[in-house]
Each structure stands twice: as C-alpha cells, then as structure tokens.
Amino acid sequence: MNISRNFIVIGGLYLLVGIFFGMYMGGSGDHTLAPVHAHINLLGFTLMTVFGLAYRLIPALAGGVLATAHFWLHQIGAFILLVGLFLLMSGTVGEGIGIIFPVAELAVLAGILCWVLNVYKNA
Ligand code: HEM
Ligand code: HEM
C-alpha cells in the first residue's frame, strides 16, 4: 500500500465534500452544519494531507505496522465520526446514534497514538 498517496488522495476527496458543505452554507445562510464542514476539512483534508506529506518526506515512517494501523484507524474512525455527525446534526437520525461517537473517537485516537509512536521511533 502506498500510504502517502492514499492519505493525500483521500484527503482531496474530503476537501471536495467539505467545500460542497461550505458552499451550501454560504448559499443558504444556514450554518447549522458548520462543525460538520469544519471537521470534514480538518480531520479529513488537512490532517490526511499533512500525514501523506510526512510519510512522503520521511520514508522511514511509511513501512511498518504502525503506519498501516494509523492509516486504517484514521480512515475508519474519521469516516464513522463525520458521517455520524452529519446524520445527527442534519436531524436525519436521533440522539441514539451517540453510541458510535466514543468508538469512532477512540479509533482516531488510537491511530494518532500509532502516529506519535512511529514519529518518536523513526522520524
Ligand atoms: C469554498 C470553500 C469554503 C466555503 C464556501 C466555506 C464556508 C464556510 C461557512 C459558511 C462557514 C460557517 C461560518 C460560521 O457559521 O461562522 C464555515 C466555517 C468553517 N470553515 Fe469553511 N468554507 C470553505 C472552505 C474551508 C476550508 C478549506 C477549511 C479548512 C481547511 C474550512 C474551515 C472552516 C472551519 C474550521 C469553520 C468553523 C469556524 C467556526 O466555527 O468558528 N473551510 N466555512
Ligand atoms: C476525534 C477528533 C475530534 C473530535 C471528537 C472533535 C470535537 C470537537 C467538538 C465537540 C467541537 C465543538 C463544536 C461546537 O461547539 O459546535 C470542536 C470544535 C472544533 N474543532 Fe474539533 N474535534 C476533533 C478533531 C479536530 C481536529 C483534528 C481539528 C484540527 C485539525 C479540530 C479543530 C476544531 C475547530 C477549529 C473547532 C471550532 C470550530 C467549530 O466550532 O466548528 N478538531 N471539535
């Protein structure tokens, strides 16, 4: 797996979606979904692009199990978090969905822990 390319390409896809939300808010004047927009752009585009660039710049980070674990934990955690936040804040689903958030947040956090360990050991 080319972890650097995957992070950067997927980050770009999040940016497209994030900009779409921003344009919708700007056009409609309804800013209810601002936190969804913010975190699609930040957790999706910004972080993933930073990670992708770092894995490209420091190849020693990219090879091991910590990098693979980081990639998948971030992808799965961020996706569940962002889709869940959208469904909740748009009123599509009720508060019952709240149970998924700690799980998704822990996945993102565990991924970041792998990242920090990897950087500490190999950067
Ligand atoms: C065409 C592109 C974009 C448009 C039209 C747009 C539009 C908006 C709008 C209308 C808001 C709500 C403001 C409010 O309610 O106070 C907002 C909030 C925000 N946007 Fe964007 N945005 C765009 C791109 C971006 C990008 C690329 C990022 C980050 C990489 C970003 C980060 C944020 C953040 C962090 C907030 C929340 C600010 C806060 O709550 O104080 N936006 N944006
Ligand atoms: C698991 C990861 C994260 C969780 C659970 C989380 C949670 C939150 C929460 C609960 C808020 C308050 C929203 C509100 O008052 O409406 C917030 C705001 C914010 N977060 Fe995060 N966050 C996460 C990751 C990040 C990351 C990685 C960044 C930046 C790279 C970031 C940047 C921001 C900013 C700029 C705001 C203020 C904008 C707003 O109110 O919409 N967050 N976050």
Q: Kindly report the pTM of this predicted structure.
A: 0.95
Greatest alpha-carbon pair distance for the chain in Å reads 48
Residue 32 and residue 88 in contact, taking contact as beta carbons nearer than 8 Å = no
> What one-character DSSP code corresponds to residue 42?
I
The alpha carbon of 64 and the centre of ligand 1 are apart by a number of angstroms equal to: 35
- Res 22: pLDDT: 98
Domain count of the fold of the chain: 1
Cβ(117) to ligand 2 under 6 A? no
The alpha carbon of 37 and the centre of ligand 1 are apart by a number of angstroms equal to: 7
Mean per-residue pLDDT of the chain: 97
Amino acid present at 72: W
Q: CA 26 to CA 12: how far, in whole Å? A: 21
Q: Per residue in 65-119, pLDDT tens?
A: 999 999 999 999 999 999 999 999 999 999 999 999 999 999 999 999 999 999 9
For residue 70, give its domain range. 3-122
Q: CA 84 to CA 62: how far, in whole Å? A: 30
Q: Per residue in 60-69, pLDDT tens?
A: 999 999 999 9
Of the listed ligands, the closest to the CA of 73 is 2
Give the pair of three-digit tokens for residue 10. Answer: 């997927």
